[in-house]
Amino acid sequence: MSAVDAARQALDRITAYDAVQPQAWIARFSDEAVLAAAAEVDRRAAAGEVLPLAGLTFAVKDNIDLAGLPTTAACPAFAYSPGTSATVVARLLDAGAVAVGKTNLDQFATGLVGTRSPHGAPACVFNRDYVSGGSSSGSAVAVAAGLVDFALGTDTAGSGRVPAAFNGLVGFKPSRGRWSTQGLVPACRSLDCISVFTPDAALALRVDAVLADLDPGDDFSRPTRNVPLPARPRYGVPRVDQLNFLGDSESAALYRSALKRLDGDVVEVDIAPLLEAARLLYAGPFVAERTAAMKDLLARNATAVHPVVRAIVQAGAGLSAVEAYEGQYALAACARAAEAIWSAADVLVLPTTGTIYRIAEVLAEPFALNANLGLYTNFVNLLDLSAVAVPAGFRANGTGFGISLIAPAWTDAALLDLAGAFATTKPSPGRP
């Protein structure tokens, strides 16, 4: 169909779903502006331009600049109007994709739950008693509810993978520096990755083909490489004593079932170094990088920050340079110990999360339950790995369970190929 027809259908779906979850969005372009952008895509296509994403609609997490709409990071006091779009957004628009609007998030991308926003808490599309996951909550909901074809999120500690698991999506977190972070409000600038939510791995590959390129304007961008994986990879899984499903027997059963669908040898590995690295992200000095990203707002108007987010980032102000270096040494020790994993396995297969929580449960205990959801995600960027969250079934309550395929940096395209092969037999509860 034409880009205009596709955009019109997307706008109709968005209008209908606003009656269910308007809190998925923070700001949107007018219908007229979206249709005009789509008409321009049709004109460019008719003129013979090669547009690899022609007519696909997408949403942008509201900590990524999209010209024409304010960037707020879910904090109205922080809002600014960017003069240009982030590099990744500009590349998507150049490829013919049509931007619809900005999505809700855990404020300043600090959280894995989706409940830390003044705009409300987006919920799992299949059971709205449960969290959507965060911090890219609105982006996950927008794709899982079929409102847009794909959505950009971010992923520093799991924010692009946890919501994907809960909402039955593919959540692709590329290698650090593979996609530009120019135009991103930083959480931890040295670790941040922009991510994407898609219904399947094939579309994630198409997006990656557009975005994977060096950006000279981003100090953390790196020249792109594509490292292959064996045709029949060795899959590493944790020792039984290292699996923690937090009492969720359904998640445990779904994980065991997923392992049976892997096409390759499955070997047990010791993930203790990964779990230790994961603890460093918030329990160690690395939280100070979040403090650095927000220091001006904290000094000027600390009460504008969500109280849970504020409690987390203010803790970084008391950390010393000595503690920062000690954290780096501890991380280097974890990375060296983790080399044994990659000697035994090509791809690590973990539960994306051990369980899911109700919104009411997270509001009552916002710190510990959030930390539980990062058990198998927090270490990935610290150790310079690539990861893809893949749907792997649904609990009886309708919420999604997922596995994560994780491998060393630059195996991104190969991981997405594996994710596509695995997901061809995924169960589905139907449309939300």
The pLDDT averaged over each successive group of 10 residues in the chain (432 residues) is 97 97 98 98 98 98 98 98 98 98 98 98 98 98 98 98 98 98 97 98 98 98 97 97 97 96 95 96 90 96 97 94 95 98 98 98 98 97 98 96 98 97 62 44
254's enclosing H/E stretch is helix 249-260
Chain center to CA of 146:
17
The tokens describing 385, both together, are 């790995």
Question: Looking at residue 352, what DSSP letter applies?
Answer: S
The CA-based diameter of the chain, rounded to the nearest angstrom, is 60
State how far the alpha carbon of 46 is from the alpha carbons of 41, 50, 140, in Å: 9, 10, 32
pLDDT given at position 309: 97
pLDDT given at position 270: 98
pLDDT given at position 431: 41
Rounded-to-integer distance, Cα 254 and Cα 245, Å: 11
Given the DSSP bridges, would you call strands 385-394 and 265-269 parallel, antiparallel or unpaired? unpaired
Phi and psi (nearest 5°) for 195?
-125, 180
Question: What domains does the chain contain, in order, with CATH numbers?
Answer: 3-211 (3.90.1300.10), 234-384 (1.20.58.1700)
C-alpha triplet 358, 363, 367: angle, nearest 5°: 105
Which residues carry out catalysis? 61, 135, 159
How large is the C-alpha radius of gyration of the chain?
A: 20
State how far the alpha carbon of 164 is from the alpha carbons of 125, 167, 201, 202, 320, in Å: 11, 5, 12, 15, 36
How many other C-beta atoms are found inside a 10 Å radius of the C-beta of residue 108?
A: 27
**Which residues are within 8 A (CB) of 147 and not within 5 positions of it... i.e. 6 or more apart?**
10, 13, 14, 17, 24, 59, 100, 141
The angle, 0 to 180 degrees and rounded to 10, between the axes of the packed helices 412-423 and 201-211 is 160
Chain center to CA of 386:
12
The angle, 0 to 180 degrees and rounded to 10, between the axes of the packed helices 3-17 and 31-46 is 160
Residue whose structure tokens are 């992923």: 155
3-class DSSP state of 35: helix
Order of strands across the sheet with 170-173? 25-28, 98-103, 57-61, 150-154, 194-198, 170-173, 385-394, 400-408, 347-351, 234-238, 265-269
pLDDT given at position 424: 60
The tokens describing 424, both together, are 């061809």
How many other C-beta atoms are found inside a 10 Å radius of the C-beta of residue 301?
A: 12
Question: Looking at residue 5, what DSSP letter applies?
Answer: H
Number of C-alpha atoms within 13 angstroms, CB side, residue 46?
A: 8
Query: 85: cis peptide before it, omega within 30°?
Result: no
Terminal-residue alpha carbon distance, the chain: 24
Rounded-to-integer distance, Cα 73 and Cα 185, Å: 7
* Whole-prediction pTM: 0.97
State how far the alpha carbon of 157 is from the alpha carbons of 168, 381, 387, in Å: 19, 7, 11
How many other C-beta atoms are found inside a 10 Å radius of the C-beta of residue 324?
A: 15
Rounded-to-integer distance, Cα 131 and Cα 221, Å: 33
CB 24 within 8 A of CB 119: no
Nearest to 159 by CA among 116, 125, 118, 98: 116
Please report the DSSP string for 274-335 in residue order. Answer: HHHHHHHHHHSTTHHHHHHHHHHHHHHHGGGS-HHHHHHHHGGGG--HHHHHHHHHHHHHHH
Nearest to 37 by CA among 86, 96, 89, 95: 96
